[in-house]
Amino acid sequence: MKRWSLILFTVITQISVGSFWTAQFFLPFEDYLLFNRSLYASFVLMLIGLSFSLSHLNSPIRAYFAVSNLRNSWLSREIIFALLYTTFLGITILNLWLNFIPRKIIFVLIWTCSLLGFLLLYSMIRVYMQRTINTWNTFYTPISFFSAALILGALLFNLIVQGAALPGWLIIILLILIILRSSLLPRSLAILAQSIPLKDILIHLQPQFILNLILSAISLVLVGFLALNPYPATIFRAIALCLLSLDAFVDRYMFYNLQKISQPYLV
Amino acid sequence: MSQANRYAFYFDSSFCSGCKACQVACKDKNNLEVGRLWRKVYEVTGGEWHQHGQIWIPDIFSYNVSLACNHCERPICLEVCPTGAIHKREDGIVLIKDTRCIGCGYCKWVCPYNAPQFDPGTGKMTKCNSCYDYIDIGKLPVCVAACPMRALEFGEYDKLAEKHTYIQGVYPLPENSLTNPSVLIKPHQDAGRACKQPARITNIEEL
């Protein structure tokens, strides 16, 4: 259960940030109504993600201690950036209702949210890229995390913003990310295979690996379809988001298992 | 805090019989429930049998490694702990302050020796503390005192290094450059074979 809390926290947070980035770059800010939906979606996703993050702790009452080691700990920094990002999203939403921030500063507010979202993802990546965990300390980690944010964020934006179409160049980037992520995973497995017999790796990972490959292939088809049909039906957008989210969850589940089986001799 | 002044464990793998008296003594002193081990004894086995005509000849090896927290010179658990619960004393002993620990388990993830252990009763992380309460009154850690083979020693790093020949890593331990563990090991005479022939930990279910 604790592991799933982290999987949900990381994926949901990434969707929130990716969706905000997509909205920021592809919508004129004057288009309040449409931008509202993206803001609300990002904010609600962060609240849900933070709830899952709290549930992973064994002493959630003392969670406030978790920002005590900003000097050294990327986990402390991740939490601070998550809180700041959520807070700034909340301020932006409040401003939409109360209009208390001058128009010229709203631009700064939006960019601050974007920057905090990036710092949140970067901190999240650094939490896992530690020198003692060789299977996480590879390019696969940032590719997996950023691709989840961009792919799922773009699809969520595509779903909730009616009439929006993802530009062709973005579709190409998403396709490249899916291919890159799928091809980097075997490299992590190869690192494992240097110290653990391949049959032991396959016993642990084979079902998830096959499922991940199938879902990645489906992801390629769905995203490729968006390139040919920029305005698909809402049901298609919803199904695409669900399937690719499932792909992201399976990918993240395998990611956590990479650490678990990288130390079979140290249980 | 210099390397010379920090406390360290010395372990003589060639003497270790695998009796696990060290493991039991630790569990007894610290009231560790089933499943939580602050000191673990790894039984490493490897090699193979060779057939010569009708005869099979063994070419196998086996040795034990007794391992607890190594109170590293560069403890990665201390670096990553978000609450600052993990701290290092002047004498090098690394401790977890349970009033600050939130049980996130991050230290367990990153420790290359899997020293931090989760206590389900308190919801916090725990680990070998070198029996600092005993050390502070001039006694030895219980694992060292309990070892019938005298395979374990405890003391200042430089004095142990002067007294013994040692290495800092042996299979199944990871590279010592990752965290500079405060442990000196005299390897078993067959320990080198674990790098060249297939070796495995045969008591993994116990751990």
From the CA of B31, how many Å to the nearest CA of chain A? Answer: 20
Q: ipTM, 2 decimals?
A: 0.87
Say which range, A80-94, B15-29, B137-151, B191-205, has the weakest mean pLDDT. Answer: B191-205
Check A59 against B207: CB less than 8 A apart: no
For helices A140-160 and A103-128, give the axis angle rounded to 10 degrees.
140
pLDDT computed for residue A267 by the predictor = 41
Say which range, A33-47, B17-31, B91-105, has the weakest mean pLDDT. Answer: A33-47
- CA B194 from centre of chain: 18
Report the pLDDT averaged over residues B195-199: 78
Mean pLDDT of chain B: 92
Check B110 against A133: CB less than 8 A apart: yes
Query: Which of A128, A136, A267 to probe by mutation at the B interface, max B CB count within 10 Å?
Result: A267
Beta-carbon contacts of B70 under 8 Å, excluding residues fewer than 6 positions away, are B9, B113, B115, B179, B181, B182, B183
Chain B residues in contact with A194 by the CB 8 A cut-off are none
pLDDT computed for residue A123 by the predictor = 97
Residues 88 to 147 of A: which have CB under 8 A from any B CB?
A: 127, 130-133
pLDDT computed for residue B2 by the predictor = 55
Residue A167 forms contact with B (CB below 8 Å) = no
CB B190 within 8 A of CB B171: no
pLDDT in tens, A127-137: 999 999 888 88
More confident residue, B47 or A193: B47
Query: Which of B80, B179, B195, B203 to probe by mutation at the A interface, max A CB count within 10 Å?
Result: B80
- Specify the pTM: 0.89
Separation CA A134–CA A152 (nearest Å):
27
Separation CA B144–CA B11 (nearest Å):
9
Check B76 against A131: CB less than 8 A apart: yes
From the CA of A136, how many Å to the nearest CA of chain B? Answer: 11
Write out the residues of chain B at the interface with chain A, using a CB-CB cutoff of 8 A: 42, 76, 78-85, 100-106, 109-114, 118, 123-124, 172, 174, 178-179, 200-201, 204, 207
pLDDT band of B124, cuts 50, 70, 90: very high
Check A66 against B102: CB less than 8 A apart: yes
Residue A175 has pLDDT above 50, yes or no: yes
More confident residue, A211 or B97: B97
| Among B138, B140, B115, CA closest to B128 | B115
Phi–psi pair at A224, nearest 5 degrees: -60, -35
pLDDT in tens, B89-116: 999 999 999 999 999 999 999 999 989 9
More confident residue, B11 or A221: B11
Residue A266 has pLDDT above 60, yes or no: no
pLDDT band of A51, cuts 50, 70, 90: very high
Neighbouring C-alpha atoms within 13 Å toward the C-beta of A76? 18
pLDDT band of A28, cuts 50, 70, 90: low
Task: Tell me how crowded residue A234 is: count the other CB atoms within 10 A of its CB.
Answer: 11
| Alpha helix positions (H), chain B | 21-30, 76-80, 106-110, 132-135, 142-146, 157-163, 193-196
Chain A residues in contact with B42 by the CB 8 A cut-off are 265
Token pair 């259960």 is at which residue? A1
Residue A10 has pLDDT above 70, yes or no: yes
Say which range, A18-27, A78-87, B102-111, has the weakest mean pLDDT. Answer: A18-27
- Number of A:B CB contacts under 8 A? 88
Beta-carbon contacts of B139 under 8 Å, excluding residues fewer than 6 positions away, are B131, B145
pLDDT computed for residue B159 by the predictor = 93
Sort strands B152-156 and B55-67 into parallel, antiparallel or unpaired: unpaired
Q: CA nearest B40 in A: which residue? A: A266
More confident residue, B34 or A63: B34
| Among A55, A80, A81, CA closest to A67 | A80
Report the pLDDT averaged over residues B144-173: 91
Looking at chain A, the whole-number percentage of residues with pLDDT higher than 70 is 85
The B199-201 sheet, strands edge to edge: B55-67, B40-52, B199-201
Element (H, E) at A194: none
Q: CA nearest B81 in A: which residue? A: A73
pLDDT computed for residue A30 by the predictor = 61
Beta-carbon contacts of A31 under 8 Å, excluding residues fewer than 6 positions away, are none
Element (H, E) at A40: helix A32-56
Residue A193 forms contact with B (CB below 8 Å) = no
Burial annotation B51-87 (CB, 10 A radius, 16+ → b, else e): eeeeeeeeeebebbbbbbbbbbbebbbbbbbbbbbbe
Task: Tell me how crowded residue B139 is: count the other CB atoms within 10 A of its CB.
Answer: 12
Residue B195 has pLDDT above 90, yes or no: no
Report the pLDDT averaged over residues A117-134: 94
pLDDT computed for residue A70 by the predictor = 93
Residue B27 has pLDDT above 50, yes or no: yes
Separation CA A205–CA B114 (nearest Å):
22
Looking at chain A, the whole-number percentage of residues with pLDDT higher than 90 is 31
